[in-house]
Structure formats: structure tokens, C-alpha cells
Amino acid sequence: MSQTKRWLDVIEDLRHLADSLEFLIAGMAKDEVPTQQVKETKPVNAKEIPKVTLEQVRGILASKSQEGKTAEVRDLIQKYGVSKLSEVDEKYFAELLKEAEEL
């Protein structure tokens, strides 16, 4: 993942945080506790935290390849319909990481 992409992800996370804080402050100003909105935003933020990166997947696959499992690593990548790890869609990174760790 490029440095620019990482910075854009951080900016997006900060915007979500700012929106949540603004809503919380508005609710406190009215002496209300905005429990419904806070509960709705927590799963979204919690879901974004354990985002798997290309570098994490690449690291695990490299170590497995060094262990002599190069053919299995190649088969695993090809399972996603591509020939190179960089071509795998990032929505599959978590699944790919889990499968790689099981090799």
C-alpha cells in the first residue's frame, strides 16, 4: 500500500471521528445522551481497525515461501484468479492472510 493511500485512510478515519465527536457534543448540549448514534458508529469504526494490508499478506507469504512452500503460496494466489499478489483485490486480504497462516 502506498504512503499516500495510508495517509488518505488516516484522514478518512479522522473525519469519522470528528463527525462522531460533533454528534456527541451536540447531544450533550441538549442534555441528551446520543446512545443510538454512538452504538451505530462503533461497529463501523471497530470494523475498520483490523484492516489487513498488502504488506502484512506479503510478509506471511514470503515467510511461507522461505519455509519451502513456494508452490502452495503460488496456488493460494492463483486461487483468487490472478498471477501476482499485487493483483489480488484488497477485499480478500483478510481471507488470504488467514489461509496463508494455515499453510
Alpha helices in 49-102 (DSSP H): 54-66, 70-78, 93-102
pLDDT value for 22: 76
Cβ neighbours of 73 (radius 10 Å): 20
pLDDT value for 13: 85
Do residues 60 and 37 both lie within one domain? no
Q: How many domains does the chain have?
A: 2
Do residues 60 and 97 both lie within one domain? yes
The string of pLDDT tens digits covering residues 1-56 is 678 888 888 888 888 887 777 777 777 666 655 455 544 545 555 555 568 888 88
**What residue numbers bound the domain in which 35 lies?**
3-48
pLDDT value for 35: 53
pLDDT value for 70: 87
pLDDT at 87 over 60: yes
